[in-house]
Chains A and B, each alone.
Chain A
Amino acid sequence: MTQVQVTQWRRTRPFWAGIFLILAAIALIVPPYATLHIGDWFVSATTVGGFSAVFIGILLLVLAGSLWLRPQYRFPAGVAALMLSLGSLVTTNLGGFVVGTLFGVIGSALALAWTD
């Protein structure tokens, strides 16, 4: 794809919404398997465990893919991503140390606000 085609592809779909949902998914999935090391300390805050992290993370990735490949379904995808992001705050490491939830909410808001 040329530069022009890439730009064209980005502009015809909620591109940044998808990016934020992917970042949110990474922020959710990674911490349970790589605990935070600060110097000699390690901090982990697990809730129901790694399961919900993978569960919500993968669904967010699927929704990001949906936004990019089927922009016309952005409303249901955006609402689902918003609910999952908020739910992750209590089920998954405080929403990936809040970062995952925050990116998820930003991504969902971008998806719902996008219009062609």
Chain B
Amino acid sequence: MAGRIRWSRFALVMGLGVAGMSTFGVAAATGAVPVSFTVSGGMLQASGERFDGKGIAIFGGVVQTKDKAYPAVMAAFDEADVRGICAGAVLEGVPVLGSVGLGIESEGFTARSVVVAIDELRTAATINDVRLGVDAGAASGAGPAGSFGVQAGSASLRDFHLNTRAVTAGTISLSGMKVNALTSKLECK
């Protein structure tokens, strides 16, 4: 008594499944469903028109990659609102392809519990309620206790250029995102 597969029914269920997947996928892409995301290791370059952050803690830190440790300025934000962002990274040593560029352009996004490991930052900034010399362990964001830290209520950056090795975000809500795979390096404005 061998069984068989009724392919018409298989197609029906697959159709339902794919419809469900795209519904959830769109919900995640538009930010209705929170997704947290981490990239680290190589150098990520980003530039944007505006960055507004609330609940800021800044402290010294280290980004640990597979075989190297890099010093970095860690900036933790409770809330961040970024507009007109363009980010690019080159992934070295990809199997088969060698190196691949990854470009992301977005109208903007809001994020909660963001930690950025800053390598270099060029911008015009307005920072409110600054307190220097706060114990990094006591500042909001999980800094190492006992080391120097800076705390600020809010900050606003215009036309920023950022080099970072690691970005972690608790929740990201994106609006209008475009991801490109490139064979050459992405040049953000």
Which residues from chain A sit less than 8 Å from chain B, CB to CB?
A: 11-14, 37-47, 71, 78, 82, 85-86, 89-90, 94-95, 98, 101-102, 105-106, 108-110, 112-116
> Does A114 lie within 8 Å of B5, measured CB to CB?
yes
Interchain Cβ contacts under 8 Å between A and B, 29 examples: A11-B3, A12-B1, A14-B3, A38-B91, A40-B65, A40-B66, A41-B42, A41-B91, A42-B41, A42-B65, A45-B35, A45-B37, A47-B36, A82-B17, A90-B28, A105-B14, A105-B17, A105-B18, A105-B21, A106-B17, A108-B13, A109-B17, A113-B6, A113-B7, A113-B9, A114-B4, A114-B5, A115-B3, A115-B5
CA distance A42 to B18 in the complex (A): 29
> Does A40 lie within 8 Å of B38, measured CB to CB?
no
> Does A42 lie within 8 Å of B40, measured CB to CB?
yes
Interface size counted on chain B using CB atoms at 8 A: 40
Q: Which residues of B contact A14 (CB under 8 A)?
A: 3, 5
- How many A-B residue contacts, CB cutoff 8 Å? 112
> Does B3 lie within 8 Å of A13, measured CB to CB?
yes
Closest to B39 in A: A43
> Does A40 lie within 8 Å of B42, measured CB to CB?
yes
The B interface, classified by DSSP as helix, strand, loop or mixed, is mixed
Q: Which residues of A contact B35 (CB under 8 A)?
A: 45, 47, 90, 94
A69 to chain B, nearest CB (A): 14
